[in-house]
Structure 1
Amino acid sequence: MARAALTRDEVLDAAADLVKQHGPDALTMRRLAAGLGTAVTSIYWHVGNRESLLDALVERTVADLGEIRPSGRTPAQRIVSVARALRRQLRDHPHLIAMVHERGLTERMFLPAQQALVREAHAAGLQGAGAADLVRAVQFQVVGHVLVERNRERAPVQRPGEEELWSAAPTGGDPALARALAGPVDTERLFAMSVRALVRSLLPPAASE
């Protein structure tokens, strides 16, 4: 059975999958063509050379980050939803995000999420510097949290680990604290808790719930 005509979106989807799984260095036109079951010339016809393909992937990554839509009943809930969605995007596509950064498009990539946060800041009654502080604080919280998560995930096995360290460390008579710090980190819960606390501290009281 003949293969259906290849589309540009299929080429970009396959290229994005390769980058996501193996990093940008794994993305070659020959490997991409083999994965799609087509000739290398067909890949060139749809997306041009490798640099043009990388540019197209970056543009699509930037556009995808623009798809973040707030959800929730209050400005605080909607701001937290934007932060959580942005975190998921950054965590799900680290290699593509790195490519965006390398091409000097990081600020453009974050602009749609910033604009969504501005709308919610205005809805909560914040203007000017107060609104700008909220936008930047939330963005920095998201990026910083993702960087810490990735560093923990990529770090070598720690010896001694947290469990051993906290089993011997003084805790001021709080054994529950030691057990909690020795256990695994629920990064999703920790992120949600910290971003909610941040948003509450920056919004007017009436809009912080």
Structure 2
Amino acid sequence: MAEGRIPAERQRRRPTKSGVVLSGDMIVDCALRLVAQHGPDALSVRRLGAALGCDPSAVYRYFHNTDDLLLAVADRVIGESMAGFRSSDDWVADLRDMARRIHRGYREHPRIAALAAYRVTRRVHEVRAVETGIGLLLGAGFDEATAVRYYAAFVDTALGHAALDAAHLALPPERRARDDGAWRDTYQSLPADAHPQLAAVREYLPLMGENSFETALGLLLDALVARAAG
């Protein structure tokens, strides 16, 4: 049996102790909520059982283990991010829209991003997103191997920035404020004789504390346009 696939007979909906009919989607909903509220340690069958009002072992009727559930949760985030996406006749605009959707989706679930942004879900929403992205690059005129390589760079840019943002958002507020303020409080005050390059750009150093996702995305898309034209 392929990993991540549960036989149909194990997917039958079953009532919990409170009479609510259990399902895989309900477990994923609960997992998203628990991780958002309590962090990664909340992703356990014991806590899921308590939150759902069912025997913890009931989770195993729908998912092999908590890692299997994590991948389902990550795929849900991808599905929510790509909901309503429609490709147009502008492949660059479509890739920009895709990247922003993926980045925004994981920023809305920062603790899931920290856990799973680097994972491969092997599920329906991820498959559909990969199909869409590679299709856009093939439509731009890239050959098959190049389209795959460039899509990997494209999606890693979106996911990598999402993971970085998630890690930053997960910091305690006082640490986050200290890090953000360092470019003003520390770097702008460095002596020019020891750090002439930093002194030359002193007034712009606070830009280092800003989110660089849009800048990186723009550079990547400009490079893709240039290579497509070439």
TM-score normalised by structure 2 residue count: 0.63
Could you say what secondary structure the match of 1:108 adopts? coil
> 1:106 maps to which residue?
120
> 1:199 maps to which residue?
221
User: Relative contact order: is structure 1 or structure 2 higher (C-alpha 8 Å, sep ≥ 6)?
Assistant: 1
Change (3 A) 1:135 1:124: same
> 2:210 maps to which residue?
186
- Equivalent runs, 1:50-199 vs 2, <5 Å: 52=64, 54=66, 55-66=68-79, 68=82, 69=85, 74-96=90-112, 100=116, 106=120, 108=122, 111-153=127-169, 154=171, 156=175, 157-158=178-179, 161-163=182-184, 164-168=186-190, 170=192, 177-182=201-206, 185-187=209-211, 190-199=212-221
> 2:4 maps to which residue?
none
2-structure distance, mates of 1:97, 1:192: 18
- Give deviations 1:139-158, integer Å, cap 9, x for gaps: 22223323433454439445
- Give deviations 1:64-123, integer Å, cap 9, x for gaps: 425623556511010111111122233333544565589xx5263654433221111122
- Give deviations 1:27-58, integer Å, cap 9, x for gaps: 4455445545x3x33x644x337974633452
Q: Is the 8 A contact 2:141 2:228 kept in 1?
A: no
Matched, 1:7 2:29: no
Q: Is the 8 A contact 1:80 1:192 kept in 2?
A: no
Change (3 A) 1:151 1:25: closer
Aligned length, in residue pairs: 197
TM-score normalised by structure 1 residue count: 0.68
Q: In percent, how many aligned pairs have the same letter?
A: 23
Q: Is the 8 A contact 2:91 2:140 kept in 1?
A: yes
Could you say what secondary structure the match of 2:155 adopts? helix
Q: Cα offset for 1:137? A: 1.8
